[in-house]
Amino acid sequence: MFAVPAGFPYRLTRNLMIAAGVLYCSLILEAVAGYPLDVHASFLSELGALDQSTSLYARAGDLGAGVLVLFAAVLARPAARMHRDVMGLMSSAALFGLSTLADSFFPMDCAPSASAACRIAEKHGHDGVELVIHEVTSTLAGLGTIALGLFAILVLRRIGWAGVWGRAVAVLAAAVALTNAWLGIATGVEVVSGDDLHPPGVLQRVAILLLCVLLAVLLPALKRGFSDDHLARAARNGRDRGGVRVAA
């Protein structure tokens, strides 16, 4: 285990991640807009559909969040040598950021939950290339989110959980991975079966909210775990709380 590299701009990277979490939290936009879509039947990405008044703001939020997360991943490159789980964490963040960025450029033409004609066109495969690309990028963003949660747990475990705060963030990361995996499976089954099994709206909003919070609190938890005091205690004990030897 190594201390955080001197060349790593922690404060700037942390602030970028916090800002990304705020921008990606489209629940704020939905509330400000007065809940224009049925929260039970709609995906938040429908706020960015071209037939919605919130389209420009929703896509701008995704664009900003994607750029900020990608920038943060680039700034975090000095930390990549610390361990392969840190590299996995950075790669997952980059995948999420790039996919979210792409989402903003390929919005849906219409919101299926708000338009019967849109639902019919989608059901009969007349939904256009944009929707297909949007579904691909959204799937990749979901996979990046799941991986982000899992790698966050692995890093926190290896550095000794970083106290009560770190354990709370690990639980949050597990919730992010679980809710996004659950959402992905439910959506996949619905697409394959062609049946509307359960409205995805509430589950997706919970998953997005948890992710936004994780983006904001992850780096402070990691910094505490990688702090010099923590490493010094681990060195005196010969190993950290996770049972990993501290490199000399």
Q: Which range among 58-62, 123-127, 140-144 shows the weakest confidence by mean pLDDT?
A: 123-127
Does 140 score more than 50 pLDDT? Answer: yes
pLDDT at residue 146 greater than cutoff 50: yes
Which pLDDT band holds residue 1 (cuts at 50, 70, 90)? very low
- What pLDDT digit, counting tens, does each position of 175-192 carry? 999 999 999 888 877 766
Summarize the confidence of residues 142-151 as an average pLDDT: 96
d(CA 88, CA 81): 11
Confidence band (pLDDT; 50, 70, 90) for 162? confident
* Band (147; pLDDT cuts 50, 70, 90): very high
pLDDT at 143 exceeding the cut of 80: yes
210: tokens are 């948890």
Orientation of helix 128-158 relative to helix 84-105, angle to 10° = 160
Region for 195 from its dihedrals, namely left if φ exceeds 0, alpha if ψ lies in -120 to 50, beta otherwise: beta
Least confident segment among 1-10, 12-21, 162-171, 236-245: 236-245
**pLDDT band (50, 70, 90) for residue 116:** confident
Report the C-alpha gap between 81 and 149 in whole angstroms: 20
Q: What is the pLDDT of residue 111?
A: 87
Gyration radius of the chain over CA positions: 20
* Beta-carbon contacts of residue 194 (< 8 Å; ≥ 6 apart): none
Q: What is the H or E stretch that residue 154 is in?
A: helix 128-158
CA atoms within 13 A on the CB side of 56: 1
7, burial (CB in 10 Å: exposed 0-12, middle 13-18, buried 19+): exposed
Which of residues 211 and 184 earns the better pLDDT score? 211
CA distances from 62 to 35, 124, 141, 184 (A): 18, 28, 11, 19
Highest mean pLDDT out of 2-6, 108-112, 216-220? 216-220
Model confidence at 125, pLDDT cuts 50, 70, 90, reads low
